[in-house]
């Protein structure tokens, strides 16, 4: 007696060209927004601390003032800051936030233009393997 068994295995995989490039450009634009977002929050904290007249000798206040000064010194003296006692409204810092937001948008667009590749046609690859096994009883 001859017994025939056929075993078929079908595997389908999809190949999406330049997928890694799109993921890279997406992650890079996320990184740009994250870094500029942190900068914007730090400047906003500085504005808030100046507005409530926080003690500049406090270590955390000193840290925030020192870090943000690196990014705000180009805008120093650009716009007069109204003061009342220890309370300061830093209008130049608000202007700097606007400028840094525009810079972030421009950098993100440049990254997108340089690295993004539109989604191409998805290529499906199908493999079929058939094996035969025969046994005589």
9-18 average pLDDT score: 69
Closest of 44, 50, 136 to residue 97, by C-alpha: 44
pLDDT in tens, 26-45: 899 999 999 999 999 999 99
CA 67 to chain centre: 21
Q: Does 16 have pLDDT greater than 80? A: no
Query: For residue 82, is it within any domain?
Result: yes
Residue 71 domain boundaries: 20-117
Query: For residue 133, is it within any domain?
Result: no
Instruction: Report how many domains make up the chain.
Output: 1
57-61 average pLDDT score: 95
Which ranges of the chain does DSSP label H, i.e. alpha helix?
Answer: 19-51, 59-72, 91-115
Phi, psi of 76 (to 5 degrees): -60, 130
pLDDT in tens, 79-129: 988 999 889 999 999 999 999 999 999 999 999 888 877 766 666 666 777
Query: For residue 62, is it within any domain?
Result: yes
In angstroms, the CA 70 to CA 109 distance is 25
pTM > 0.95: no
List, in sequence order, every residue forming a beta bridge with 126; answer none if it has no partner. Answer: 12
């Amino acid at each position: 007696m001859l017994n025939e068994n056929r075993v078929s295995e079908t595997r389908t995989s999809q190949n999406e060209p330049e997928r890694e490039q799109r993921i890279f450009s997406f992650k890079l634009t996320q990184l740009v927004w994250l870094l500029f977002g942190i900068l914007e929050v730090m400047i906003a904290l500085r504005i808030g601390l100046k507005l409530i007249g926080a003690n500049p000798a406090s270590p955390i206040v000193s840290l925030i003032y020192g870090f943000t000064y690196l990014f705000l010194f180009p805008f120093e003296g650009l716009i007069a800051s109204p003061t009342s006692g220890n309370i300061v409204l830093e209008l130049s810092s608000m202007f700097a936030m606007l400028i840094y937001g525009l810079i972030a948008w421009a950098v993100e667009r440049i990254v997108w233009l340089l690295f993004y590749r539109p989604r191409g046609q998805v290529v499906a690859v199908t493999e079929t393997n058939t094996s035969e096994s025969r046994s005589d009883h």
